[in-house]
């Protein structure tokens, strides 16, 4: 991940992080833009504020986060 990348992150801390077993099911993800990544800390611009979280709680955002190429939203038709 480089500064300027769209990322998803969580600010939730639970026992899974403390024990080293990462479980991402049921966690609320937020979207933002990565500002900087130093050592094990990431600074992210989200909702007009700078949020600081551990890099273990940050992932690069992708298609499953609702990001699509261009302004069009893809919809499935049955």
Whether residue 44 contacts residue 60, with contact meaning beta carbons closer than 8 Å, is answered with no
Q: What is the pTM of this model?
A: 0.69
Q: What is the pLDDT of residue 25?
A: 63
pLDDT digits (tens, 9 = 90+) for 19-62: 555 556 667 788 999 999 999 899 999 999 999 998 888 888 88
Full 3-state SS string of 30-44: EEEEEEEEECCEEEE
Which domains can be identified in the chain, with CATH numbers? 6-65 (2.30.30)
Q: What is the Cα gyration radius of the chain?
A: 14
């Amino acid at each position: 991940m480089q500064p300027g990348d769209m990322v998803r992150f969580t600010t939730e801390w639970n026992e899974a992080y403390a024990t080293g077993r990462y479980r991402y099911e049921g966690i609320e993800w937020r979207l933002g833009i990565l500002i900087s990544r130093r050592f094990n800390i990431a600074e992210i611009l989200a909702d007009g504020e700078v949020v600081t979280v551990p890099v273990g709680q940050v992932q690069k955002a992708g298609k499953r986060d609702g990001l699509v190429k261009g302004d069009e939203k893809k919809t499935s038709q049955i």
